[in-house]
Chains A and B, each alone.
Chain A
Amino acid sequence: EIVLTQSPGTLSLSPGERATLSCRASQSVSSSYLAWYQQKPGQAPRLLIYGASSRATGIPDRFSGSGSGTDFTLTISRLEPEDFAVYYCQQYVSFGQGTRLEIK
């Protein structure tokens, strides 16, 4: 079983800043299997990125994904107020524990 570890647990930033979220796998995984989700309070997760770097339909281009092997990154280039949420990475049927992005 592959374990996904996300860091940091909480990230405090201001609107307009750049956010970098990390997802590390316990063993090398195909980048095709890596996806990222955004979840706001009381809502279901929303798919942002699949195949490590492909944006899902309707996702703004300030969201980008990268990485390979065991290390993957979600970058939000310039934070908007609506981006403050919890972010999860996923590989096949395993999820990371999440990173909470909060307003500083």
Chain B
Amino acid sequence: QLQLQESGSGLVKPSQTLSLTCAVSGGSISSGGYSWSWIRQPPGKGLEWIGYIYHSGSTYYNPSLKSRVTISVDRSKNQFSLKLSSVTAADTAVYYCARGSYGDYGAYYFDYWGQGTLVTVSS
């Protein structure tokens, strides 16, 4: 059973960089056919996709966050990471990592999720 686990700082000061890591177990991040995403959810609000990375290292970011986001993969540790720079209070959210799967006829969906980690931006 694939499992994803987020870790990182739960409190970040405004203007600093948020850093999170997602450790993948029960499967290899190097397996083809999947993307590895970060998705966030501000308190009491909906889901916002941040970006994803393939095992090859290719990335695709939400245009609204692109200038501040970097997602990287460490295949040796079977994990991928998120960096979000110049954070403000608006970046306070629960951050999830998730696996994106591709099905028949171009289906795309997030089938495995981490439990999420709350990141608060505050001085």
Q: A residues engaging B (CB < 8 A)?
A: 1, 30, 32-33, 35, 37, 43-47, 50-51, 54, 56, 88, 90, 92-98
Beta-carbon contact of B108 and A33 below 8 Å: yes
Chain B residue at minimal CB-CB distance from A86? B46
Beta-carbon contact of A35 and B109 below 8 Å: yes
Chain B contact-residue range equals: 20 to 34
Q: How far is the CA of A32 from the CA of B106 in the complex (A)?
A: 6
Q: B residues engaging A (CB < 8 A)?
A: 37, 46-49, 52, 62-63, 96, 98, 103-111, 113-116
In the bound complex, residues from chain B placing their C-beta under 8 Å from that of A98 are: 46-47
Beta-carbon contact of B49 and A51 below 8 Å: no
Can you list 26 residue pairs at the A/B interface with Cβ under 8 Å?
A33-B106, A33-B108, A35-B107, A44-B98, A44-B113, A44-B114, A44-B116, A45-B110, A45-B113, A46-B113, A47-B109, A47-B111, A50-B107, A50-B109, A51-B103, A51-B107, A51-B109, A88-B46, A88-B47, A90-B47, A93-B49, A93-B52, A93-B62, A95-B47, A95-B48, A96-B46
In the bound complex, residues from chain B placing their C-beta under 8 Å from that of A1 are: 63
Chain A residue at minimal CB-CB distance from B94? A44
B11 to chain A, nearest CB (A): 19
B54 to chain A, nearest CB (A): 14
Q: List the 4 shortest-distance A-B pairs measured between CB atoms, nearest first.
A: A44-B113, A35-B109, A50-B109, A32-B105
A84 to chain B, nearest CB (A): 17
In the bound complex, residues from chain A placing their C-beta under 8 Å from that of B48 are: 95
Chain B residue at minimal CB-CB distance from A45? B113
With most chain A CB atoms within 10 A of its CB, the pick from B47, B52, B103, B115 is: B47
Q: Which of A30, A56, A88 contacts B105 (CB 8 A)?
A: A30
A24 to chain B, nearest CB (A): 15
Residues A32 and B47 in contact in the complex (CB < 8 Å), given A44-B115, A45-B113, A93-B62: no
